[in-house]
Amino acid sequence: MSVSIQDAKVPTFANFVIGGISGVTAQIATHPMDVLKIRMQVSRNTLRDTAFQTFSTNGVRGFYTGLSAAVLRQLTYTTSRLGIYTTLLDIGNQHFGYLNYVTMISLGMIAGMMGSFIGTPTDLILIRMVADINLPAEKRKNYKNAVSGIFDIWKTEGFTGLWRGAVPTMGRAAIVNGAQLGTYTRAKMMLQDTGYIQNGISLQFAAALMSSIITCFASIPVDVAKTRIQNWRQSTKSPNIMAMIVNIVRTEGLISLWRGFLPYYSRAAPNTVITMVCADQLHQMYLTFFPVS
């Protein structure tokens, strides 16, 4: 093998397949915290009250509400964002050599926006399936699964209704992926330069943990606004993301933009770690079994 595993690049199609597998694995492991985060964002309940309400209503199964939509979301959104980012990063390194932190963040933002546009319909279904519990019985959507939810929205709200909240979703994705992917790549390089951590799971774990802290703090205000917009039930047109943020600050206080931070971070940290470690390990496995000559 003329190219080392560390420096070799997998084919483009493999980047997308690996992204999807990594995203689904992380989602299944962290879905309960995603449920609690969404339900806190559409209500004013504490984490304790939200967890109690979820368990008392549906038992343990309630923490896996919307799992079909969440998995489908990973197969569209994460497959796209990780596949696009890794491909752009490979192209950048090949043509320009060392990429700085700003460039890495920019590539992450581009990949995030493209992936989120593709995954918006499944994200919308996930929000509605999870948030149904906060509505009166007569106003609940009661989607049986992600596929039935998509067809229901298409029938009642039109095809474009599937992209309700696409702009704030893309805005959030730009922040999340720019911070997560760009910081993860840069953190790995920085940690390697120290000489204390060599390439491997320990390096990937440390870098992913660092990127998750920055990602959560920067992205949760947009995530709260996005969730409110996608769960908008009033007869009037839903506000844009900036108007929603201003309204939340005015009516509930600035700190409300970070509502659900604990479940958000409790989900995002392990989700980031599992996703990025899985992705890197699967890349190494691919190159081990299908070496680049």
**CATH assignment of the domain containing 231:** 1.50.40.10
- Whether 158 maps to a domain, the answer reads yes
Q: Which of 108-117, 141-150, 225-234, 257-266 has the highest mean pLDDT?
A: 108-117
- Whether 105 maps to a domain, the answer reads yes
Q: Is 226 a residue whose pLDDT tops 80?
A: yes
Tell me what pLDDT residue 261 has: 87
Upper half-sphere CA count for residue 287 (Cβ side, 13 Å): 19
- Whether 55 maps to a domain, the answer reads yes
% of the chain at pLDDT higher than 70: 97
Residue 140 Ramachandran class (φ > 0 left, ψ -120 to 50 alpha, else beta)? beta
- Whether 4 maps to a domain, the answer reads no
**Residue 206 is encoded by which pair of tokens?**
């440390």
- Whether 3 maps to a domain, the answer reads no
Q: Is 153 a residue whose pLDDT tops 50?
A: yes
Question: One-letter amino acid identity for 147?
Answer: V
Tell me what pLDDT residue 292 has: 64
Confidence of residue 8 (pLDDT cuts 50, 70, 90): low
Q: CA 45, 47, 49, 55: dihedral to nearest 10 degrees?
A: 130
* pLDDT tens per residue, range 269-290: 999 999 999 999 999 999 988 8
Tell me what pLDDT residue 168 has: 84
Q: What mean pLDDT comes out for the span 111-129?
A: 94
Upper half-sphere CA count for residue 223 (Cβ side, 13 Å): 25
Helix (H, G, I), strand (E, B) or coil at 46: coil
Tell me what pLDDT residue 239 has: 81
pTM given for the model? 0.82
Give me the number of domains the chain comprises: 1
CA Rg value for the chain: 20
Instruction: List C-alpha distances in Å: 238 to 132, 230, 232, 241.
Output: 18, 8, 6, 9
d(CA 246, CA 233): 19
Q: Is 94 a residue whose pLDDT tops 90?
A: no
Tell me what pLDDT residue 18 has: 95
Burial of 167 (0-12, 13-18, 19+ CB in 10 A): middle
Smallest CA-to-CA distance from 110 within 67, 134, 80, 140 is with 80
- Whether 6 maps to a domain, the answer reads no
* pLDDT tens per residue, range 29-84: 999 999 998 898 888 788 899 999 999 988 999 999 999 999 999 999 999 999 99
Q: Is 207 a residue whose pLDDT tops 70?
A: yes
Are 47 and 40 in contact by the 8 Å Cβ rule? The answer is: yes
Q: Is 293 a residue whose pLDDT tops 60?
A: no
Average pLDDT of the residues of the chain: 89
Residue 34: which domain range?
Answer: 12-288
Q: Which of 60-64, 132-136, 201-205, 235-239 has the lowest mean pLDDT?
A: 235-239
- Whether 5 maps to a domain, the answer reads no
